[in-house]
Homo-oligomer: A and B are copies of this chain.
Amino acid sequence: MRQFIVVGHDAPTTPDFSLDDLPGAGRLDLLARCVTSSLLLSHGIREDVRTHLVLGDAVTVTVDGGTVRRLNPDERSTAALVQNALKQREEAVGHMAVEPSPGVSLTRVGLAGTLDAVADDGAVCPLHEEGTPAAELDPPTDPVFVLSDHRNFAEGELSLLDDHADNRVTLGPERLHADQAITVAHNWLDTEGFSDYSR
């Protein structure tokens, strides 16, 4: 399984925002694209992927490719899934999740709790400009990639990550948007051994 954790520093933790202005809703446009870039292929879904949006410091919305329904590629409908999940936040307590719609769950934990929850799943790999170039690494098995939104990771987040992480990975010389980085990370894993000779 591949997992992605995206830290949305300014993201809304309540459903009181307009779908007509997603950039103004704490860059929910970017977080919505992170969901779709991680889970959707052209005419297909990556069933073996789970994506966690850490909203602010105390809510995480997880979308599971194996069970999610009605996930479309556009930002607005994906943001509506998140908004719908936030409507049930009062029913969640800590790690006890609510599942407002199939494959979409919400827990009342932040980055630390989310990292704890995936601790036994596989290698935690922050995507960071100061990491080891992907080309020099073997693609990890069952990776948990961790990304930040339009802001840099805060100091406290970096030390949390250092506690959990196996390797910081950098995907190239350009600073990408988080959703673009997810697409490149997938391709890094997808193309391992991919060539005419192996087809």
A42 touches B177 (CB 8 A): yes
Given A76-B76, A187-B171, A180 contacting B37 (CB threshold 8 A): yes
Mark A167-197 against chain B: 1 for CB-CB distance below 8 A, else 0: 0000111111110100110110011001110
A142 CB to nearest B CB, Å:
18
Task: For A131, give the chain B residue with the smallest CB separation.
Answer: B196
The interface on chain A, measured as residues whose beta carbon lies within 8 A of the other chain's beta carbons, has a size of 41
Contact of A177 among B40, B172, B194 (CB under 8 A): B40
A138 CB to nearest B CB, Å:
14
Residue numbers in B under 8 Å from A162 (CB-CB): none
**Chain A contact residues, CB within 8 Å of chain B:** 20, 22-23, 29-30, 33, 37, 40-44, 72-77, 132-133, 135-136, 150, 171-178, 180, 183-184, 186-187, 190-191, 194-196
